[in-house]
Chains A and B, each alone.
Chain A
């Protein structure tokens, strides 16, 4: 009985709105080109082999060489410009430009030629999965693979436990001191906004061989922070705030009456926690675990800085690429392995656990929870959380001092010489470049993500699922993988045709990477903001005569202004602190702060590295402060927020 009239009418209405049609088409192309295409190229590179080899002409003649012959008897050889040329085997003698000596030198007409030493270059192309067994047999890669998984397990386990503890204290325990609560707030937001390797840097400064605490205070001279435990501690401290925020949201949604019912029936506090609270949280804990796992596996900066000889997949791939390995298939295959890990986890997390979390914990708590005042619970938990907080804060304080002390480990007198050196060097250019590129990326990302969320939440059209999935997909793609994908995809232009090759090595490609990396975050916040808005508000605007673009600009965007503003700043902060993808793509034309910090830290020049990091933290912190101020004074009006509640 299904009639197609409504479908046809919907289509006619859809195409009567050119702005929307063009927007959707453009978005689809952009997403395909800058997210799917590089990943597809990576996949292709890992299984598609182009092998060039030199074959003696004499063997070609004799027919004993393994050379692809076409039907009319020609063979396809590569000339000295790398172009394919079809030649008759008989005519090979005079095919100058296609003839090589054994060492690969191009033979020219008039060269003295030994007939036994004339070669042609042929290319074989075939599909093979050989690269995968090969890389797994490779000791370095194999170690890195298991290192990555082990690290992911430890880090996510630690982050979830600490995050849960903080969330529990925040939601259940009556922390009397306001200062302690304030400290929790600071600690939970600091690692989210700070550059990724700051904690590694301060870890080295405080606990390394010349560490302030290990050496000066404890007198340990052979302390070694480099390696798995160093990375694990730093990653845990970096990622637990994410778990904390996620779990806090869940705990807030648990109806206290459920726990009160259990208490009422005679269960002790521990019993309530293990039989009611924890089971309700289980999918949420799994969710937090996977999110952290993905972050840990994808993390590049920390293993790079504090990993020492403990290599992970991300650093191994980076070293292979920059180390000039000729095994392009192998490097691509490694990236594919890394991508597969994060992608599978992402799919489980997004399509299984998220739905499950929403199913067990939906709706709001009916009323406020009676906070635990019991000393035996309150005191130990508060002390534990305070210690962790104090530790994190100390780590951050070490950074500016690292920049202010004359020589860390030797001379702890204050000086500005590292800052002076920074600006005497090309520090100013690094800040200008990083700042400018991030500043360009942020409005693009913010606007794009708002448009995508608008289309996804409010519109019906074919290809919507594609747009939603691909823009979220970038969340699961480790920066290193994206970087390698961009190299493979654009170094020779799109599909190696030279199209868009111009952007490779320029600031444009860096901006594109920034946009791609931040798009999922902005889109997610836009989608959740838009879901709160009654669809009839936009319908009434349509009904009064506004077209799609007008509705978006005059109604939708003003209503999700907060989300837009935070998208703006989040992108800026994420971009200016990004390293994993851009370190593979940056050229000497641009200096990026993060890459400079990495360079200096590698050289052991911690003073300058700290000076860079200090200024970077000041910039990101200022951006956040400005955003909060703007949202408070010029954000979505209070009324809109009230209505959403």
Chain B
């Protein structure tokens, strides 16, 4: 499969304007979004609800028309093409299986439209059902399947037509937590097997991290940050991104000295050494982005703090400590053999090297 030339997707300054149904005012649902999705890569649009990610996806599919900008599939502009003339296939949140067809007919739908000979069609369907591990289920009606199986039928139906781009609209949100984890691995595996370009929409950051080559974080219709999962986790470019991905603490301070690759930040009068990214000068106010696992408590150190909560979570010891007036949440993984602080103890907070990011 997937012998044909792979195509990427390019969005060139795309905007979409909607009217607020209550006030009647126009607003940007998507604003000036430009991005390039490389052929064969898996890209996730991630953001809170209402951030414009689904609208962007639906514009790629052709269900909505952009108010500004042009969308390209490969080199071809596709703005004016109807959804049925675009070489995309979408997997819907509600699966959108045809309830009056059985599994085979659901999967065959797109192929029949392409007037494929019966022999070839049967081969293709057998192959794809094998890939999604549904062989033997051909004659089942869709309501006789479990949620995960329905999801895989939807996946098979979209993939069997070998589209240039696969679109996923929160496909796992109707499944239970455990199934969600195994299905996302499945989707990633199949996508890699076929080498198909995929655009995936979700509001679940763990899902996005697990599945994507690149993550695009959107907020209020604009792109907040693009990058690999590692870049986004470790080097968020804004408070929103830092906050949206994983647990995070912000510590405010002033830059007091800048050295080679490092600088000194004063927090509540206590000087702390931080690896210095570019663009910080002495006297500037800054925020330290501290992931819970990046902080270490010890009996000595630069930053004194008071323990407000300490509880054992199995994999880690969970602490809430007060640094001045700021609450900092910490996770001390594998605490066996280390000192466990109790509520009311005074301790000193230090940072794992290279794990603190400055904003």
Interface residues of A (CB under 8 A from B): 1-3, 5-7, 9-10, 12-13, 16-17, 534, 536-537, 539-547, 550, 554-555, 558-559, 636-640, 642-643
Contacts and interface: CB of A to CB of B under 8 A. Distances in A.
B161 to A, nearest CB: 6
Nearest to B114: A545
Contacts of B109: 541, 544, 546, 554
Contacts of A536: 92-94, 96
B177 interface: no
Contacts of A10: 65
Contacts, number: 114
Given A545-B113, A639-B143, A640-B100, A12 B80 contact: yes
Given A545-B84, A637-B100, A3 B92 contact: no
A13 B113 contact: no
A333 B15 CA distance: 55
A546 B28 CA distance: 31
B79 interface: yes
B82 A540 contact: no
A642 B17 contact: no
A555 B110 CA distance: 13
Contacts of A555: 98
A498 to B, nearest CB: 42
A177 B104 CA distance: 49
Contacts of B65: 5-7, 9-10, 13
A539 B98 CA distance: 11
A545 B100 contact: no
Contacts of A546: 84, 109, 113
10 smallest beta-carbon distances between A and B, as pairs = A639-B143, A9-B65, A544-B110, A536-B96, A540-B96, A6-B65, A3-B67, A536-B92, A542-B83, A6-B67
Given A1-B26, A9-B80, A639-B141, 17 more contacts: A2-B26, A5-B68, A6-B64, A6-B66, A10-B65, A16-B80, A534-B96, A536-B94, A536-B96, A537-B98, A539-B61, A539-B83, A543-B89, A546-B109, A638-B143, A639-B99, A639-B100
B335 to A, nearest CB: 47
B94 A2 contact: no
A536 B97 CA distance: 9
A536 B98 CA distance: 10
Contacts of A554: 109
A43 to B, nearest CB: 34
Interface in B31-78: 61-68
Contact of A539 (B63, B67, B110): B63
A558 B16 contact: no
A539 B141 CA distance: 20
Contact of B100 (A539, A542, A550, A558): A558
A554 B105 CA distance: 11
A539 B96 CA distance: 8
Contact of B67 (A5, A544, A559, A642): A5
A643 B99 contact: yes
B253 to A, nearest CB: 40
B208 to A, nearest CB: 22
B88 interface: yes
Contacts of A16: 80-82, 85
A250 to B, nearest CB: 27
Most chain B CB neighbours (cut-off 10 Å) among A12, A543, A550, A554:
A543
A6 B16 contact: yes
B328 interface: no
A3 B68 CA distance: 7
B307 interface: no
A643 B16 contact: no
A13 B99 contact: no
B265 interface: no
Given A540-B96, A546-B113, A5 B66 contact: yes
B90 interface: yes
A539 B90 contact: yes
A537 B110 contact: no
B92 A539 contact: yes
A637 B68 contact: no
A617 B110 CA distance: 47
Contact of A550 (B66, B86, B93, B113): B113
A122 B28 CA distance: 66
10 contacts: A5-B66, A7-B65, A9-B66, A16-B81, A537-B98, A539-B63, A540-B90, A540-B92, A546-B109, A558-B100
A6 B59 CA distance: 10
Nearest to B161: A544
Nearest to A542: B83
Given A6-B17, A13-B65, A543 B90 contact: yes
Nearest to A13: B82
B67 A543 contact: no
B157 interface: yes
Contact of B98 (A5, A17, A541, A550): A541
Contacts of B16: 6
Contacts of B89: 543-544
Contacts of B143: 638-639, 642-643
A559 B83 contact: no
Contacts of A12: 80
Most chain A CB neighbours (cut-off 10 Å) among B15, B66, B93, B109:
B109
A13 B80 contact: yes
B84 A543 contact: yes
A351 to B, nearest CB: 18
A643 B68 CA distance: 38
Contacts of B98: 537, 541, 555
A16 B79 CA distance: 13
B272 to A, nearest CB: 46
Given A539-B83, A543-B88, A546-B113, A1 B17 contact: yes
Contacts of A13: 62, 65, 80-82
A488 to B, nearest CB: 42
Contacts of A541: 98, 109
Contacts of B63: 539, 542
B61 to A, nearest CB: 6
A17 B28 CA distance: 28
B202 interface: no
Contacts of A639: 99-100, 141-143
Most chain B CB neighbours (cut-off 10 Å) among A10, A536, A555:
A536
Contacts of B61: 539, 543
A546 to B, nearest CB: 6
A550 B114 CA distance: 13
Nearest to A16: B82
Contacts of B15: 3
Nearest to B27: A1
Nearest to B105: A554
A7 B161 CA distance: 30
B79 A9 contact: yes
A642 B100 CA distance: 12
Contacts of B68: 3, 5
A542 B109 CA distance: 11
Contacts of B99: 537, 559, 637, 639-640, 643
A407 B191 CA distance: 84
B114 to A, nearest CB: 7
Interface in B127-148: 141-143
Contacts of B83: 539, 542-543
B113 A17 contact: no
A594 to B, nearest CB: 38
A542 B82 CA distance: 9
B71 to A, nearest CB: 10
Given A543-B88, A550-B113, A643-B99, A17 B94 contact: no
Contacts of A638: 143
Contacts of B141: 637, 639
Nearest to B86: A543
Contacts of B90: 539-540, 543
Nearest to A14: B82
Interface string B1-29: 00000000000000111000000001010
